[in-house]
């Protein structure tokens, strides 16, 4: 006959049991059950909701709207989009006219060593002072043309006077002169043409469109993330109910077994098995409750509340329930919708268009610089400013000229290297568009299969749950008439809880798959009747 020596330590209590055979083991188990019982009630107490917690009900649509209004990623993307619009203005501003004003006053007092015609008479008998004063204003307006040229308009009136004692041969003293000149410079090869000059404006416009769709993609991503997290909160809440139902069933079985053991019609082992099951399911309840709180925090973070609100112990109660009906899905229609609406397609197309623009511009830079320069002007002289203006505009005094300027760097290696680089970038952009289309098609196909598979999982897990309920009910009836044991009933209770959890998971996964399919089709905004302005 074997002898067992078992020691149980718990806090300040130490119990040693020494017994022989099977009854010694049973005595140890009874002591263990007595020690576990206080722990079970303690576990249930800590799982209750503290009275200080504040609860808030929230629907999926409300969560989506709040996330769009306050999400930090969306705020950053929105500001980036605005900066791309500013880039367009920067490029367009290169064709804004420039106005400059230059005013000068000059005085020169010089000794004359010889007679000066118009300033002195005959031979000099001594050092003569020549005092000349001039005031001038230059108004210049210039602008770049969309053709690649440049226009400059210059007006420069001036007043010139010399000391009266030597000014014997001047017609006007002081004299007023005015000059009006128009100069045109137009490239004929390199940098010539509207298409070339507007290259960077169009690139900036494409970048703004790309950033707009990056912003839209970010919005879709945030909405999809909110939906996925929301359904996880729903699953966590429903999973807690499953765990609590399993705990309640185990507690009821434990109470029944204790009553039967007290009446002497059931062994103490069945009581201990029921107590162990209750302890295990208390743990499951605690874990399920923690999961709810974790998922609620994740959802609250997506809503981006203020730090003070995030510090509060707020519980979110979801209002929406998952759908369990199969939505009609056409694979080809889903692919066509995704190709038409996915932001990545527009981004890839605009990047390819910008690459083509840069390639055409760099090709133009291979040409020599050949420019036409033409100028024409009017001149005038008068005794005062009004007289000078009248004579200036009369057209009696004028000048004009024209010419060509040609230059070309020998070898031009920089331009050729840039052109080769732009060609490679254009090919990469074209390949990226093809790659994006392929990824979208494969992603939509996988998303459609996931929806169909998850819906079938709902049907199969529902059938499994129904069978588990029937098996548990039959086994409970067998236990009542003494044809089964507590262990088998507990196993079937566990199987039922697992089947209920699987059905719940399949239902939530189906709703998450619908959200994932909408994200792949870029129709998430349509689900909420939202438009981005």
Nearest Cα residue to 286 out of 332, 243, 328, 347: 243
Output DSSP code: residue 49: P
The span from the CA of 132 to the CA of 163, in Å, is 7
Mean pLDDT of 435-439: 96
Output DSSP code: residue 106: E
Mean pLDDT lowest for which of 32-36, 155-159, 240-244, 479-483?
32-36
List the domain boundaries for the chain: 102-144+149-190+377-407
As separate numbers, helices (DSSP H) first and strands (DSSP E) second, the chain gives 13, 11
Q: Could you tell me what percent of the chain has a pLDDT over 70? A: 86
Nearest Cα residue to 472 out of 198, 233, 252, 259: 252
First to last CA, the chain: 87
pLDDT for 494-503, tens place per residue? Answer: 999 999 999 9
pLDDT for 176-217, tens place per residue? Answer: 998 999 999 999 999 999 999 999 999 999 999 999 899 899
Comparing 443 with 167, which gets the higher pLDDT? 443
H/E stretch holding 243 reads helix 199-263
Region for residue 210 given its phi and psi (left: phi exceeds 0; alpha: psi -120 to 50; beta: otherwise): alpha
pLDDT for 247-267, tens place per residue? Answer: 999 999 899 989 989 988 888
pTM of the model: 0.74
pLDDT, position 35: 30
- Of the pLDDT bands very low, low, confident and very high (cuts 50, 70, 90), residue 43 is very low
In this predicted structure, the answer to whether residue 65 has a pLDDT above a threshold of 60 is yes
Output DSSP code: residue 455: H
pLDDT, position 44: 36
In this predicted structure, the answer to whether residue 168 has a pLDDT above a threshold of 80 is no
| DSSP-assigned letters across all residues of 261-328 | HHHTSS-HHHHHHHHHHHHHHHHHHHHHHHHHHHHHHHHHHHH---HHHHHS-EEEEE------SPPP
Nearest Cα residue to 472 out of 492, 486, 502, 499: 492
In this predicted structure, the answer to whether residue 424 has a pLDDT above a threshold of 90 is yes
Output DSSP code: residue 11: T
The span from the CA of 196 to the CA of 191, in Å, is 6
The span from the CA of 232 to the CA of 4, in Å, is 49
Rg (alpha carbons) of the chain, rounded to whole number: 45
pLDDT for 285-323, tens place per residue? Answer: 999 999 999 999 998 888 887 777 778 788 888 998 999
CB atoms within 10 A of CB 413: 9
Q: What residues have CB less than 8 Å from 265, skipping those under 6 apart?
A: none
Mean pLDDT of 353-363: 95
From residue 271, give the alpha-carbon distance in Å to each of 52, 259, 305, 320.
37, 9, 50, 41
Q: What residues have CB less than 8 Å from 113, skipping those under 6 apart?
A: 124, 127
In this predicted structure, the answer to whether residue 18 has a pLDDT above a threshold of 80 is no
- Of the pLDDT bands very low, low, confident and very high (cuts 50, 70, 90), residue 118 is low
Average pLDDT, the chain: 84
Contact 14, 7 (CB under 8 A): yes
pLDDT for 135-162, tens place per residue? Answer: 999 999 999 999 999 999 999 999 988 8
- Of the pLDDT bands very low, low, confident and very high (cuts 50, 70, 90), residue 66 is confident
């Amino acid at each position: 006959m074997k002898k067992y020596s078992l020691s149980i330590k718990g806090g300040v209590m130490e119990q040693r049991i020494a017994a022989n055979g099977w009854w010694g083991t049973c005595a140890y188990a009874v002591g263990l059950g007595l020690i576990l019982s206080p722990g079970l009630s303690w576990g249930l107490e800590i799982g209750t909701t503290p009275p200080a917690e504040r609860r808030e009900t929230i629907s999926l649509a409300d969560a989506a709207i709040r996330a769009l209004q306050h999400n930090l990623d969306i705020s950053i993307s929105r500001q980036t989009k605005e900066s791309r619009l500013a880039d367009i203005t920067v490029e367009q501003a290169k064709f804004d006219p420039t106005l400059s004003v230059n005013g000068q006053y000059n005085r020169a007092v010089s000794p004359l060593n010889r007679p000066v015609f118009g300033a002195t008479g005959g031979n000099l008998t001594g050092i003569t002072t020549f005092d000349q004063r001039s005031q001038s204003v230059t108004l210049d307006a210039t602008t770049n043309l969309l053709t690649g040229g440049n226009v400059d308009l210059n007006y420069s009136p001036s007043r010139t006077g010399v000391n009266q004692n030597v000014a014997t041969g001047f017609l006007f003293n002081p004299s007023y002169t005015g000059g009006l000149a128009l100069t045109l410079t137009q490239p004929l090869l390199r940098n010539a043409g509207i298409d070339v000059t507007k290259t960077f404006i169009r690139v900036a416009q494409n970048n703004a469109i790309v950033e707009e769709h990056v912003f839209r993609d970010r919005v879709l991503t945030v909405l999809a993330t909110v939906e996925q997290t929301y359904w996880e909160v729903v699953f966590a809440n429903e999973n807690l109910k499953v765990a609590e139902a399993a705990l309640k069933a185990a507690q009821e079985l434990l109470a029944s077994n204790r009553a039967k053991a007290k009446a002497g019609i059931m062994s103490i082992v069945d009581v201990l098995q029921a107590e162990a099951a209750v302890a295990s399911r208390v743990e499951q309840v605690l874990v399920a409750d923690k999961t709810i709180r974790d998922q609620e925090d994740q959802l609250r973070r997506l809503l981006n509340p203020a730090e003070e609100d995030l510090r509060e112990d707020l519980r979110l109660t979801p209002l929406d329930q998952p759908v369990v009906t199969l939505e009609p899905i056409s694979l080809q229609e889903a692919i066509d919708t995704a190709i038409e609406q996915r932001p990545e397609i527009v981004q890839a197309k605009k990047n390819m268009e910008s690459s083509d623009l840069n390639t055409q511009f760099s090709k133009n830079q291979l040409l020599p610089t050949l420019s036409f320069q033409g100028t024409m002007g009017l001149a005038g002289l008068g005794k005062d400013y009004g007289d000078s203006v009248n004579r200036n505009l009369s057209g009696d005094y004028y000048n004009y000229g024209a010419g060509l300027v040609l230059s070309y760097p020998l070898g031009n290696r920089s331009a050729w290297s840039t052109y080769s680089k732009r060609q490679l970038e254009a090919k990469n952009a074209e390949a990226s568009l093809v790659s994006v289309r392929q990824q979208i098609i494969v992603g939509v196909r996988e998303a459609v299969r996931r929806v169909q598979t998850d819906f079938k999982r709902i049907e199969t897990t529902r059938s499994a749950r129904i069978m588990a309920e029937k098996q548990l009910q039959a086994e409970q009836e067998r236990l009542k008439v003494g044809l089964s044991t507590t262990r088998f009933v507990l196993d079937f209770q566990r199987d039922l809880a697992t089947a209920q959890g699987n059905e719940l998971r399949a239902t939530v996964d189906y709703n998450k798959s619908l959200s994932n399919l909408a994200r792949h089709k870029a129709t998430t905004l349509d689900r909420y009747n939202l438009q981005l302005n």
